[in-house]
């Protein structure tokens, strides 16, 4: 067993932050909150939740696990740029499909708009990833923070502060550079505000 050093401790802390704020965990928790808030009853909550959850979390997640089991990727976080291209493209396709299904299900406007935000951000991340390793961790959390500020109020501004330790955790573990974490947060924040503006929320 390796002796515990300050460097090892920082790596453990960074790993814990990265795992706790994993894009799939963040998306799963926030999707549940949003759908619960706007569903009028269980008959609305369940199908909206199933579609959103399946397309944003379950199906892309299972695809990544299959790739891992088939040894087509080296780790679940897909540290290598070449390993990220197809999984993120598949995730983007599923997210767009989810938004389309929610539209035809007449999901509540906020639920549909947020599905559009998720789909647009997923497509953007997928496109950028074909050439550059943008941070999905900071991209996802920045979008969630922006949604919370627009939907629930400016009192949730403090969520943006969580981006600091989150970005640090990705940088110290050498998964991303400061520019990759910054770009992820900035681009999805802009796109999220843009979608809300188009739909008349701001």
Given a cut of 80, whether residue 40 has pLDDT beyond it is yes
Q: CA 121, 36, 136 angle in degrees (round to 5)?
A: 25
Other C-beta atoms closer than 10 Å to the C-beta of 49 total 18
Q: What token pair was written down for 75?
A: 């780790």
Of 16-25, 105-114, 137-146, least confident by mean pLDDT is 16-25
CB 97 within 8 A of CB 91: no
Q: What is the pTM of this model?
A: 0.89
Per-residue pLDDT tens digits for 141-195: 999 999 999 999 999 999 999 999 999 999 998 889 999 999 999 999 999 999 9
The contacts of residue 5 (CB under 8 Å, 6+ apart) are: none
- Collapsing DSSP to helix, strand or coil, 201 comes out as coil
């Amino acid at each position: 067993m390796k002796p515990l050093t300050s460097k090892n401790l920082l790596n453990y802390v960074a790993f814990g932050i990265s795992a706790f704020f994993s894009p799939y965990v963040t998306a799963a928790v926030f999707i549940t909150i949003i759908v619960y808030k706007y569903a009028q009853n269980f008959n609305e909550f369940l199908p909206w939740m199933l579609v959103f959850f399946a397309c944003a979390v379950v199906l892309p997640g299972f695809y990544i696990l299959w790739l891992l089991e088939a040894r087509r990727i080296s780790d679940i976080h897909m540290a290598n740029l070449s390993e990220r291209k197809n999984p993120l493209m598949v995730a983007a396709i599923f997210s767009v499909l989810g938004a389309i299904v929610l539209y035809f299900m007449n999901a509540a406007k906020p639920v549909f708009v947020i599905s559009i935000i998720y789909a647009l951000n997923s497509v953007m991340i997928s496109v950028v990833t074909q050439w550059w390793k943008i941070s999905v961790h900071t991209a996802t959390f920045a979008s969630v923070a922006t949604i919370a500020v627009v939907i629930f109020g400016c009192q949730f501004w403090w969520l943006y502060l969580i981006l600091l330790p989150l970005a640090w955790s990705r940088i110290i573990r050498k998964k991303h550079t400061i520019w990759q974490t910054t770009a992820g947060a900035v681009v999805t924040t802009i796109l999220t505000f843009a979608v809300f503006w188009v739909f008349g929320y701001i």
